[in-house]
Structures are given as structure tokens and as C-alpha cells.
Amino acid sequence: MNDIGEFALLVALATALYGCVSYIMAVRGNRIDLYLSADKTPVIVWVCVVISSAALWKGFITNDFSLQYVWAYSNKELDTFYKLASFWGGQKGSLLFWTLILTTYMCVVYFQNRKKNIRLMPYAMAVMFVIIIFFLCLLNFSTNPFERIPLPPEDGRGLNPLLQNYWMVIHPPTLYLGYVGFTVPFAFAMAALISKNLDDGWIRLTRKWTLLAWFFLCMGNLFGASWAYVELGWGGYWAWDPVENAAFMPLLVATAFLHSIQIQEKKDMMKVWNMSLVLLTFVMTIFGTFITRSGLIQSVHTFDEATLGYYFLAFLGVIIVICTVLIITRLPLLKSKNELDSLLSREASFLINNLLLLGIGFATFWGTIFPIISEAVRGVKITVGPPFYNQVNVPIGLALLALIGIGPVIAWRRATWANLRKNFQVPVIVGLVTAAVLFSIVPLTGRSEIFTYMTFILCAFVMACILREFLNGARARMGLEDGGNFVSELGTLTWRNKRRYGGYVVHIGMVLIFAGIAGSQSYSVHEQKHLKMGESFKLRDYTITYEKLTAVEATSVKTRVIAEVGVFKDSKRVWTGRPEKEFYKGQNQPVSEVDVLSTIVEDIYIILADFNEDESATLKVYLNPMVSWLWTGGWVIAFGTMICMWPDRLEQRRRLDRMKKQEAIFAPAQE
């Protein structure tokens, strides 16, 4: 099977090369025979990559340690669940996994569009093939996952214990689905540029793809934060690590893009801007991959054998040059005929939102590459830490949060101050009441606490703005001749305007995330104590008592040492925490498994930092307020995105009507 897997990768590369060239020749030479021939290649390449992936998975399941990759990331004792996930645990497998997702996406795009967009599709497929070829070249000639060990060892080295967590099965695939998903809008944007077909057709074709990729990247980031929170044992979920930043930057640019395409659709303007944003989003995904695989920047996420940096850098350079040249040469075709009606309009608020998102993106980018720049200029690698990011990004983030509320309340095209005053009255009052109530509750001593205070006020303001939108919309519908009751009209309103109101639901999720970040960053307290059995200490209103220490042989390679910690409030037991340390055979460092009691108010987060032979133990306990708001925000975002992505029958009917009308007067595109 290994031989077949390796061979399938080679065949996939040859077929992808043929597919790319024949698609271009077919469209350039206007030849249907070449097109029909090329049209077989997406599925063939996908099948080859599936065969190759299946072969590697089989290697993991059957403990085939003749494969160097399987030996490096698995062993006989590893749970089957983690054996499946070990596939993307290292560099080689993760590249194959990336290629698997990319070819799968390409196949879906192919089946969706092959008969619809005959002028654009060949170019889009060719662009996707170019990217696939790059990854297949790496897999075939640089990091072959089927590399053999001449004398296979008895057992493997095993998967890094930190990766033996259920999030390992969820987080990387979600993140990859997001990263790779941006290839689709990128390919269509490039196709539009190459074919000079620069109306907003490519945007309509890829809008949902962009949203899907955005959703996966957003969830991937949140899942990663959740994983870090429960596994790394430092009480936090985000550390502005270069690789976290690498996944955060495309998310910011894609968010800007998702907002600004609405202006292009509505007003047929901002074509250059949108084109640049979609290309930049893709560039950022490749940049992220470069960061993870170059070994140039230190991060907990970088792969052991991070040797592919230069390939990715070269690829990145080529993409940037091609994109820039294409945009410059197509500038006359991208010129907008329309202008903003007023600076006091929703379009203008979207523009400001774009600038703020890119501002955060640029600050994050600068902080991420600063170690490389400082080393190149001064010979010393200077790493930029969380204070830099917080200092720059928090104020911009607050402005962005305010805009989440302001944007929807302003009318499209033109608004007046009088209407704004009227519409913002209630949200501003809600904000002021929140400010007054919180003033007496929360401490306001430092800069961070002031920012947190402002965040809560803005969260209340934004929530009021969004809820007001739902309320006013439903009320307006109730006033119609066939208007029903409030609840049914609220449902109809959302159902008939899925994009708008689904977007508002996503915004509610963002508000929860902002509140969660603010609360957990500013009001978190922690204490570390070395305790003998039965001893206690106080942390805020809680009494923490160290009660028991147990050692358990979980498997032949894993021993668990579990501490039992009683948490009391007003002499009542609230919870018994069981943090543990896990010792893996052959691994020098034990792994901490924290225990968390999560409530809407706060998380009680306990780490067993150390223990001694006399059964005394060092416990570290955090009280992290509002962390659960973050995860709830994530689910709300998922729900909102689902509403936005739900097929819109009205839109489909409009598209069909357009096609019919077009074809009734003008001949179909294909002869």
C-alpha cells in the first residue's frame, strides 16, 4: 500500500500538471476537446490524493514503522483516535492533509461550476492546479510522507503528549478547512483578472466559499484557543504567538473583504480594493504556512523539521508579484463608475471597518515579523510580546466594536444627523446606564481596567443597536397588511434577509467574545501554593483544600497522578477539581492536565504544578471571569453563519430568471 500511496502522489502531480496546461490551452485555443480532457483531471487528482492519504492512514492504523513518518508520530500504544489524528501531527502528513482538503474543495468547485461558467472556470481550475502542483512538488521531492526506514524499529516514537488531546482531532482540520478554503475565492479572483471578466460575477460565485472559509478559520482560532486553555496549563487561551497571529491575520483581512464586497454588489464600486483584499487573504494564508514551516520564528506550534521556509517564501514572492502585476495591468477595467453618496452612510462605516481591521492586521503582522527584521538589521532577534499587541490592537479593537453597533443603524447611501440621533438614543442610554452601574462595581485603577470598562459599555451599546434592528424590523413587518405577530414576523424577517440578519447574529457572537476577552483579561486572579494534604488557602471568595493524591497506571505507557482539590464557598463544597500530571514512557517532561469548572460568571481553573514523595503538592489556581462567554460567542457565530449560508431560494430564482432572460436574447456562451 505504501508503494501505491507514493506512486499515487507522483501520478497526482503529473495529472495536475497536465490539467493545468490543458485547461489554459483549452481556453486560449478555444478547443473543446482539450477542455473535455482537462475536465477529467480534478477528479483524477483527488482520487490519487485520497489513495495516498488512505495509504498513510493505513500505515498509522497497522503500526507500519517502516514509514519514517509513522515511526516519528505514533507507537503501538497510541489510541486509534489519535493514530488517525497523527496523520496531521507532523509536517509531511499535514502537507498531505492540506493537499487532500485542497483537492476536495477543487472537486466540489468543479461539480458546482463546470457547466455554468465556461469562460471563468478553466482559469480558476488552472490557478487551483498551480497551488496543488506546488504542494505536490513538496510532497514528492522534499517531504515525502512515504519515506522508508531500511530496518524498521519495533515501536514508534509516539505522538507528542501535548497533542494527545481531543482538540487535536478537531482544531487542525478546522483551521486547515479555513486556510485552504480561501484558495477558492483567490482562484476565481485570479481567473477574473486573467480573463478580464471583471464584473462582480466572481464575487457572487465565491461569496459563500469565502464565508465558509472565514467560518472555519474563525472556529479554528477559537478551537485553538480552547485547546491552549485546557492543555498548555498557563491559565490563558491566547498568547499572541506567531502561529496564532498567522491564523488571525487572514481572518482579519477576510472579514474586511466580506464587508466590502457588499459595497461592490450594491454600488458596483471598490473593485480594486476587493480584489486586493481577496488576494491578500490568500497571501496571508501562505504567509501563515511559511511561519509554521520556516523555523525562522520561535513558536510552540512550529513543526520539528521546519525546513520548508524558503520554498514557501519563494512561492509567496511569486504570488505577490503575479497578483500585483495583474492588478496594475487591469486597473483601467477595475475603475468604479460610482462614488460614495455620503460619508454618513453604511458604506462609509464599512470602509472605516475595513481600515480598522487592516490596522489590527498590520500591527499583528509587524509584531510577528519583527524578530526576523530585527535580526536582519541589528543581528539580534527581538521578540515582541503581548504588551505590544495589546497596546496597539486594543484601542483599534474598541473602535471596531463600536462600529459593529454603529454600522447597521446607519442607512445605506445617505443618513442624516437627525435620524442618527433618533436611532442611537436607546443604545446610547443603554450604554450610559451600563457605564453607571459598572462604575460602582468594577475597579478602575489601571489602563487595562479602563479599557475593560469601555469594552463592557460598548458591548451593551452594540447589543442594544443589534436588538433594536431586530425589533424595528419585526415591528415594521407587523405593520404590513399581511403582518402577523411579533415572533412570526421576527422569523420571517430573518428568513427573508438571511445575509443581513445572519450577519447580525454573528455580530452578537462577536460582542460576547469581546466581553469574554475583556472580563477574563482584566479580572483574572491566580495563586500558587505548596500544600500538605488537608491544607487550604483562600482565593477571593473560595477556599481551596488539597485533599488527596492518587497514582493510576492508565496504560502501559501512561501513568496519571491525580490530585483531588475541594473548592468551597461559604463552607459549602462547590466542586471537587481533579487536576493531574501525566507521565508518558520515553518522554522526559510530564504533561499537566488541568481541571476546569466553567460557569457563566467565571472559570475555576486548577493546575497540579508539582508534587513530592511526601504527597505534598504545588497547586496553581486561577479564577478567570467570563471565559465561557468566548466559547458561547463562537457557537453564536456558528449559528449566524449557518443562517447566512442557508440557500436563498429567492436569490436562486432571481439568478435563473436572469439567465433565462439573457439566453432569450443573446445566444448561450457555448456553441
Partner 1 sequence: MNFVHFIQLILVLAILGAVGVPLFRGLSKIKLFAKLDESGEEYKHLLVRKEEVLLSIKDLEFDRTTNKVSEKDYQTQRKKLEMETVTILERMEELEKDKKKGKKSSKPAKVV
Shortest distance in whole angstroms from residue 639 CB to partner 1: 24
Shortest distance in whole angstroms from residue 51 CB to partner 1: 8
Shorter beta-carbon distance to partner 1: residue 375 or 663: 663
For helices 201-231 and 627-645, what crossing angle results, to 10°?
Answer: 160
**DSSP assignment string, 370-420:** HHHHHHHHHSS-----HHHHHHHHHHHHHHHHHHHHHHHHSPSS---HHHH
Closest CA to 44 of 67, 74, 12: 12
Q: Provide φ and ψ at 144, rounded to 5°.
A: -75, 120
Shorter beta-carbon distance to partner 1: residue 200 or 564: 200
Question: Which residues are near partner 1 by CB under 8 A?
Answer: 3-4, 7-8, 11, 15, 18, 22, 26-27, 30-41, 44, 48, 118-119, 197, 199-201, 204, 265-266, 268, 337-338, 341, 409-416, 418-419, 422-423, 469, 472-473, 476, 479, 654, 658, 661-662, 665-671
**Left (φ > 0), alpha (ψ -120 to 50) or beta: where does 214 sit?**
alpha
Shortest distance in whole angstroms from residue 349 CB to partner 1: 12
**Residues 470 and 508 sit within 8 Å (Cβ to Cβ):** no
Alpha-carbon gap, residue 156 to 572, rounded angstroms: 48
Alpha-carbon gap, residue 278 to 261, rounded angstroms: 10
Shortest distance in whole angstroms from residue 199 CB to partner 1: 5
Shortest distance in whole angstroms from residue 127 CB to partner 1: 18
Alpha helices (H) in 160-241, listed in sequence order: 167-181, 183-195, 201-231
Q: Cell digits for 331? A: 486597473
Shorter beta-carbon distance to partner 1: residue 15 or 221: 15
Amino acid making up residue 175: L
Shortest distance in whole angstroms from residue 40 CB to partner 1: 4
Shorter beta-carbon distance to partner 1: residue 40 or 447: 40
Question: Which of the 8 DSSP states describes residue 161?
Answer: G
**Left (φ > 0), alpha (ψ -120 to 50) or beta: where does 379 sit?**
left
Q: Cell digits for 481? A: 397588511
Shortest distance in whole angstroms from residue 245 CB to partner 1: 37
Shortest distance in whole angstroms from residue 435 CB to partner 1: 26
Shortest distance in whole angstroms from residue 209 CB to partner 1: 19
Shorter beta-carbon distance to partner 1: residue 44 or 435: 44
Shorter beta-carbon distance to partner 1: residue 31 or 526: 31
Helix (H, G, I), strand (E, B) or coil at 147: coil
Shorter beta-carbon distance to partner 1: residue 478 or 549: 478
Alpha-carbon gap, residue 120 to 23, rounded angstroms: 11
Shortest distance in whole angstroms from residue 658 CB to partner 1: 5
Shortest distance in whole angstroms from residue 19 CB to partner 1: 8
Shortest distance in whole angstroms from residue 424 CB to partner 1: 11
Shortest distance in whole angstroms from residue 278 CB to partner 1: 19
Alpha-carbon gap, residue 44 to 29, rounded angstroms: 23
Shorter beta-carbon distance to partner 1: residue 124 or 515: 124
Shorter beta-carbon distance to partner 1: residue 585 or 654: 654
Q: Provide φ and ψ at 141, rounded to 5°.
A: -115, -10
Shorter beta-carbon distance to partner 1: residue 268 or 304: 268
Shortest distance in whole angstroms from residue 181 CB to partner 1: 25
Alpha-carbon gap, residue 70 to 49, rounded angstroms: 18
Shorter beta-carbon distance to partner 1: residue 370 or 412: 412
Measure Cα distances from 331 to 193, 277, 328, 359, 414 in Å. 10, 15, 5, 24, 28
**DSSP assignment string, 458-517:** HHHHHHHHHHHHHHHHHHHHHTSTT---HHHHHHHHHHHTHHHHHHHHHHHHHHHHHHHH
Q: Cell digits for 67? A: 514509514
**Left (φ > 0), alpha (ψ -120 to 50) or beta: where does 74 sit?**
beta
Shorter beta-carbon distance to partner 1: residue 258 or 594: 258
**Residues 157 and 149 sit within 8 Å (Cβ to Cβ):** no
Shorter beta-carbon distance to partner 1: residue 85 or 128: 128
The vertex-158 CA angle with 157 and 163, nearest 5°, equals: 140
Shorter beta-carbon distance to partner 1: residue 477 or 560: 477
Alpha-carbon gap, residue 639 to 635, rounded angstroms: 6
